[in-house]
């Protein structure tokens, strides 16, 4: 079967650039949206040019120009959107409604993967304010996709490794300490950590797979389902030293959260649900989902100890 032609929207982003790389590596004809709004952002321009050098096609298009989006989506079989959705960086999830309109009108797209790549928003109906905005907005996009009858796959990637492992699961930290770590509560709820390049590989692997059509693909690499304490133990083994430990109770965490600005509070809410409540591992995958490492055992995912070695 011929491989699908893929359009990546948000291709210069943190995850987007990895999706472009993985799509090219898997031999898909790959198109990357080139938005005029990047202006004179020289880093983005250079990144786009590097994609072109590697064989991608740059397609001009803007979220302010419906016809340009329509033209872009008409060129491909699959659209993957990796638009920003982290408040401390930028949160543009609802802009995707314009992409949904274009895909619906074009009528040729065989599958759309919206910008999700985190906690499954369908499991977060009771999430706390203000962080629930992330899940609510992603559900608004899902509803629009399904109302429009667009075939889809949602990728629930759980924790991006660099955000969570880098800081030993401590919010606001992205490099692991060699002295001290704050455990969130007892540090025992399990979360799931995935190398961002592996997220991209699983995502690209699934786009032509009929088993994940109109389903959620959950990334649960079995050896990367660990508690904060277990992550810390792996790091301690790597550095050959035990860290000093203190603990932050739920109540103290929530009180500290209240003092932060809105964008920080959104992120902290997510840490609360993941690290205190164990929301990523508190449910079984049902009939509407598939698990990536089971479907694609050929992908040798990066294990937590291998990932942490980059910080030595």
Ligand X SMILES: NC(=O)c1ccc[n+]([C@@H]2O[C@H](COP(=O)([O-])OP(=O)(O)OC[C@H]3O[C@@H](n4cnc5c(N)ncnc54)[C@H](OP(=O)(O)O)[C@@H]3O)[C@@H](O)[C@H]2O)c1
Say what the alpha-carbon torsion angle 270, 271, 277, 280 is, to the nearest 10 degrees.
70
Q: Does 263 bind ligand X (CB under 6 A)?
A: no
Q: Does 82 bind ligand X (CB under 6 A)?
A: yes
Cα 218-211-86 angle, rounded to 5 deg = 30
Q: By Cβ distance, which residue is nearest to ligand X?
A: 13
User: Which residue of 38, 97, 148, 263 would you call a contact of ligand X, by CB under 6 A?
Assistant: 38
- Which span sits near ligand X by CB under 6 A: 5-13, 166-174, 204-212, 291-299? 5-13
User: Which residue of 157, 168, 182, 184 would you call a contact of ligand X, by CB under 6 A?
Assistant: 157
Nearer Cβ to ligand X (1/41): 41
User: Which residue of 86, 97, 213, 285 would you call a contact of ligand X, by CB under 6 A?
Assistant: 86
Q: Does 14 bind ligand X (CB under 6 A)?
A: yes
Separation CA 71–CA 187 (nearest Å): 49
Catalytic residue among 29, 138, 201, 215: 138
User: Which residue of 3, 5, 44, 303 would you call a contact of ligand X, by CB under 6 A?
Assistant: 44
Q: Does 200 bind ligand X (CB under 6 A)?
A: no
User: Which residue of 51, 112, 160, 202 would you call a contact of ligand X, by CB under 6 A?
Assistant: 160
Q: Could you tell me the smallest distance in angstroms from the CB atom of residue 159 to ligand X? A: 5
- Considering CB under 6 A, how many residues would be counted as binding ligand X? 29
Q: Does 193 bind ligand X (CB under 6 A)?
A: no
Pairing of strands 190-194, 225-227: antiparallel
- The residues facing 77 across adjacent strands are none
Element housing 34 (H / E): strand 30-34
DSSP letter string, 249-270: -HHHHHHHHHTS-HHHHHHHHH
SS3 302: coil
Show contacts with ligand X in window 48-77 (CB under 6 A).
63
Nearer Cβ to ligand X (33/103): 33
Burial class of residue 103 (count of CB atoms within 10 Å of its CB; 0-12, 13-18, 19+): buried
Q: Does 79 bind ligand X (CB under 6 A)?
A: no
User: Which residue of 57, 84, 123, 260 would you call a contact of ligand X, by CB under 6 A?
Assistant: 84
Burial class of residue 221 (count of CB atoms within 10 Å of its CB; 0-12, 13-18, 19+): buried
Nearer Cβ to ligand X (163/235): 163
Q: Does 154 bind ligand X (CB under 6 A)?
A: no
Q: Does 13 bind ligand X (CB under 6 A)?
A: yes
DSSP summary character for residue 4: P
**120-144 CB burial, b ≥16 within 10 A, e <16:** bbbbbeebbebbbbbbebbbebbeb
DSSP summary character for residue 199: H
Q: Does 10 bind ligand X (CB under 6 A)?
A: yes
Is-catalytic flag, 138?
A: yes
Phi, psi of 159 (to 5 degrees): -90, 125
Q: Could you tell me the smallest distance in angstroms from the CB atom of residue 196 to ligand X? A: 8
Q: Does 271 bind ligand X (CB under 6 A)?
A: no
Nearer Cβ to ligand X (109/280): 280
SS3 246: strand
Cα 288-22-311 angle, rounded to 5 deg = 100
Catalytically active residues are 138
- Judged by the rule CB under 6 A, the positions of this chain that interact with ligand X are 10-16, 33, 35, 38, 44, 63, 82-86, 89-90, 92, 95, 115-118, 157, 159-160, 163
């Amino acid at each position: 079967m011929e491989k699908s032609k893929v359009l990546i929207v948000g291709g210069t982003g943190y995850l987007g650039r990895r999706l472009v790389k993985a799509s090219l590596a898997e031999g898909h004809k790959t198109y990357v949206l080139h938005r005029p709004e990047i202006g004179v952002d020289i880093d983005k321009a250079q990144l786009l040019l590097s994609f072109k050098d590697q064989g991608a096609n740059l397609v001009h298009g803007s979220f302010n120009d419906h016809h340009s989006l329509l033209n872009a989506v008409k060129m491909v079989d699959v659209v993957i959107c990796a638009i920003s959705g982290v408040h401390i960086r930028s949160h543009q999830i609802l802009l995707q409604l314009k992409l949904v309109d274009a895909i619906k009108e074009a009528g040729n797209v065989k599958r759309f993967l919206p910008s999700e790549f985190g906690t499954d928003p369908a499991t977060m109906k009771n999430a706390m304010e203000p962080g629930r905005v992330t899940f609510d907005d992603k559900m608004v996009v899902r509803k629009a996709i399904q109302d429009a009858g667009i075939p889809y796959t949602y990728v629930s990637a759980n924790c991006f490794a660099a955000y969570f492992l880098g800081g030993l699961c401590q919010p606001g930290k992205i490099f692991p300490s060699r002295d001290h770590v704050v455990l969130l509560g007892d540090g025992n709820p399990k979360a799931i950590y995935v190398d961002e390049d592996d997220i991209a590989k699983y995502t690209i692997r699934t786009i032509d797979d009929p088993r994940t059509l109109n389903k959620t693909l959950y990334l649960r690499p079995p050896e990367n389902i660990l508690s904060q304490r277990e992550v810390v133990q792996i790091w301690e083994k790597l550095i050959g030293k035990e860290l000093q430990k203190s603990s932050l109770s739920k109540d103290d965490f929530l009180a500290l959260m209240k003092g932060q600005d809105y964008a920080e509070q959104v992120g902290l809410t997510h840490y609360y649900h993941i690290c205190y409540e164990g929301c990523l591992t508190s449910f079984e995958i049902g009939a509407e989902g598939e698990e990536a490492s089971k479907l694609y055992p050929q992908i040798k995912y990066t294990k937590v100890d291998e990932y942490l070695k980059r910080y030595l």
